[in-house]
Amino acid sequence: RAGAAPVRPDEMAEAAEKLAAEHDLVLVEGAGGLLVRYDERGGTLADAARLLGAPVLMVVPAGLGTLNMTALTAEALRTRSLTLAGVVVGSWPAAPGLAERCNLADLPEAADAPLLGAVPEGAGSLDPVEFRARAPRWLAPGLDGRWDAARFAAEAGAGPEFPAEDS
């Protein structure tokens, strides 16, 4: 639709496998979501994940609607026998409101997976070198970071009942 040829799931998987031969970690971003059609055959990011046998890291918004979107995406992953590695909030606000704080506490249950990070809003506008330097503060140890979900939730006011990463 952007004037470029569509990228098919098999091409995504092949490119990711080539990159994996040279790098420790390869992330495949799925713009639009798990079930958005990428090509004329109806191929989706879910198809690429299946071809790779790769776990899926779900990146979600912080605000209203995220619990429903998270639960539906997690259900779609389970239906397809795909593994959900965890959830990252993709744009955590500098001043989170009640909805964002409650969502932070409820996301692990909605996803049936751990919360593995929270990227601050505006991070995408950082210079790539600066982004890379700061990223470990936003991501859990399982993603080569040092972010702590329980501490983050307490600081955000999400409540003491927030589950730890390994629960």
* Domain definitions of the chain by residue range: 1-54, 55-158
Q: Which of 165, 163, 123 is nearest to 146 (CA)?
A: 165
Tokens of 77: 């992953």
- State pLDDT tens for residues 126-154: 999 999 999 999 999 999 999 999 889 88
State how far the Cα of 69 lies from the Cα of 8, in Å rounded to an integer. 24
CATH number corresponding to 55-158: 3.40.50.300
Angle at 158 between CA 70 and CA 132, to 5 degrees: 70
CB atoms under 10 Å from CB of 20, counted, come to 13
Residue 80 confidence (pLDDT) above 80: yes
State how far the Cα of 132 lies from the Cα of 137, in Å rounded to an integer. 10
> Over pLDDT 90: what percentage of the chain?
68
State how far the Cα of 167 lies from the Cα of 107, in Å rounded to an integer. 13
Tokens of 132: 């890379």
State how far the Cα of 115 lies from the Cα of 87, in Å rounded to an integer. 5
pLDDT of residue 98: 92
Q: Which has more pLDDT, 167 or 95?
A: 95
- State pLDDT tens for residues 20-64: 999 988 888 877 889 988 888 899 999 999 999 989 999 999 999
Residue 162 confidence (pLDDT) above 90: no
pLDDT band at 1 (very low <50, low <70, confident <90, very high): low
Q: How far is CA 97 from CA 49, 51, 87, 93, 139, in A?
A: 34, 39, 20, 8, 22
Q: Which amino acid, residue 148?
A: D
